[in-house]
Amino acid sequence: MRQVSPIDATWLALESRDTPMHVGGLFEFTLPDDAPPDYLKQQVELMREAHTIPPPWNLKLVETPLLAMRLPLMREMRDVDLDYHVRHSALPHPGGQRELGILVSRLHSHQLDLHRPLWEVHLIEGLEGNRFAMYSKTHHSLIDGVSGMRLIMRALSNDPARRDMPAFWTVGEGTRPEHKPQEENGRAPLTRPLGIARGGASALAGLSRAALDLALAAVDERPLQAPYRAPESVLGGRLNGQRRFATQQYELKRLRRLARAAKCTLNDIVLYLSGSALRSYLAEHARLPDRPLTAGIPVNLREPDDLSMGTAVGMMVAELGTNVANPLERLEAITRSTGEAKRHLRELPSPARTSYALLINGPYIAALLAGLGGHAPIPFNLGISNVPGPTEPLYFNGSRLDALFPLSLLLHGNALNITCVSYAGTLNFGFTGARDTLPHLQHLAVYMGQALDEISQILLGKPARAARRG
């Protein structure tokens, strides 16, 4: 038995038909030149023959009494039904991005079975251009974006000739950083409580200052964007479980050239493209707020040697300049806002940075748990993430990975998430939206491409077209 951490237990508590708490990935592969007609069928059969399934892929939630006042438990299963967890699907003709998007949107709308290990994989054949896709989903209580990327890198190879690749659910979770040894009697050294006390005091002091800064930001015009000042928008309100997914892929070197030309960061360019796409989309539907939309931006807080699979992220809030018509002025507004947010986070003591995310999200999560989601104030309008991924081309049993697109979860009050992952010289955007709240979500992807063309023309003197649209 293992106990679920308090943060990961929150994701389990928020699980419902309207707000499924799984994250996913869409991987597009090109078949090897020598692939037989039944290549994908062979891969599915091999994947289902795996005998050793390590944690977290063999962990099943233990049912506890409804009123039990303890954190959930998970236990390891000896036998995992891979016929259930590994599925084989096919796209209708012509097998384009539209057909793939419809299927993946439907798959991402369905809840995971809480009575089984909390993951599924779907191999999808019939993608045009001699390609196939794999869609995976895993409960957020098991994995976050950074640990997910590390898992991908461990389960794929940079050798196109390799044919003995294991499925990723046969690759176990990493280990946490090594801690100082305990004394022989099993008790921690006497200095440990003092260190914990000092760390707690430092975190408390840092959070007190952070709370004061946020309170002041809420009542004056300083650049620091305070949470819970998000304007009312179509992104708010309650959701149902139906999801829609769209994608975009860009050349990373072009985005970095833009960042250098604008003297800002790559993340600022990501936020600019997101804010500009939202501005156009909301204007199309006559739903553009007068005040700028705000984004919650996760910040990776893992140590370099931390290979564990749980959730380890901080948070900052920044504006998206959706109320600014001029593209350069919009980018400048975003850069000012993110600069102040990063400065604020850097000034916090290290122990306070994780807790700072709780300071921002705590009231919102409490409202969700109380059933008030969609009616209570929200800390920001949407989440936007940029996850670092593999830098070199990767292969799975000879099939080249062409693109990987992240799918996120949605909560009441946040009808949209935009997450991008870098891979082999590209930046891959995944738009996860509430289907009934945001009709024609693929228009967001189109508007993002137009925003990239516009800012490229201004800063570089030429447009930068998308490598792939979906």
Q: Is 468 exposed, middle or buried (0-12, 13-18, 19+ CB in 10 A)?
A: middle
Helices (H), 236-349: 252-262, 266-284, 327-346
CA dihedral 145, 53, 84, 100 (to 10 degrees): 30
Tokens standing for residue 179? 């801690």
Is residue 230 within 8 Å of 360, Cβ to Cβ?
no
Q: Within 10 A of 269 (CB to CB), how many other CB atoms are there?
A: 27
Rounded CA separation 364/413 (Å): 9
In this predicted structure, what is the pLDDT of residue 342? 87
> Which of the following CATH numbers is that of domain 1-171+198-470: 3.30.559.30, 2.60.40.1170, 3.30.930.10, 3.40.50.740?
3.30.559.30
Rounded CA separation 226/271 (Å): 17
> Which residue in this structure is represented by tokens 């390891």?
76
- Prior bond of 160 cis (ω within 30°): no
Residue 340 CB partners (closer than 8 Å, separation 6+):
222, 223, 224, 225
- Which residues are bridge partners to 414 per DSSP? 411
Residue 326 CB partners (closer than 8 Å, separation 6+):
none
Compute CA 116 distance to the chain's CA centroid, rounded to the nearest angstrom: 23
Q: ∠ at Cα 274 (407, 441), nearest 5°?
A: 55
In this predicted structure, what is the pLDDT of residue 120? 96
Task: For residue 337, give the amino acid letter.
Answer: S
In this predicted structure, what is the pLDDT of residue 35? 94
Largest CA distance in the chain: 69
In this predicted structure, what is the pLDDT of residue 51? 80
In this predicted structure, what is the pLDDT of residue 350? 72
Tokens standing for residue 273? 């493209």
Q: N- to C-terminal Cα distance for the chain?
A: 42
Tell how many helices (H) and how many strands (E) occur in the chain.
11, 16
Rounded CA separation 452/189 (Å): 56
Residue 439 CB partners (closer than 8 Å, separation 6+):
none
DSSP 21-35: -EEEEEEEEEPPTT-
pTM of the complete model beyond 0.75: yes
Q: Decide: helix, strand or coil at residue 38.
A: coil
Tokens standing for residue 355? 């807790």
Rounded CA separation 322/342 (Å): 20
Q: Does the annotation count 285 as an active-site position? A: no
Residue spans of the domains in the chain: they are 1-171+198-470
Rounded CA separation 140/15 (Å): 10
Region of residue 81 (phi > 0: left; psi between -120 and 50: alpha; otherwise: beta): beta
**Alpha carbon distances (Å) from 440 to 200, 245, 444:** 48, 10, 8
Average pLDDT, consecutive stretches of 10 residues, N- to C-terminus, the chain (470 residues) = 87 96 96 94 92 90 68 92 96 95 98 96 96 96 77 86 88 48 36 35 40 45 76 96 98 97 97 99 96 91 51 79 98 96 83 76 92 95 94 96 96 97 97 97 97 97 64
Which residue is catalytic, options 140, 179, 285, 344?
Answer: 140
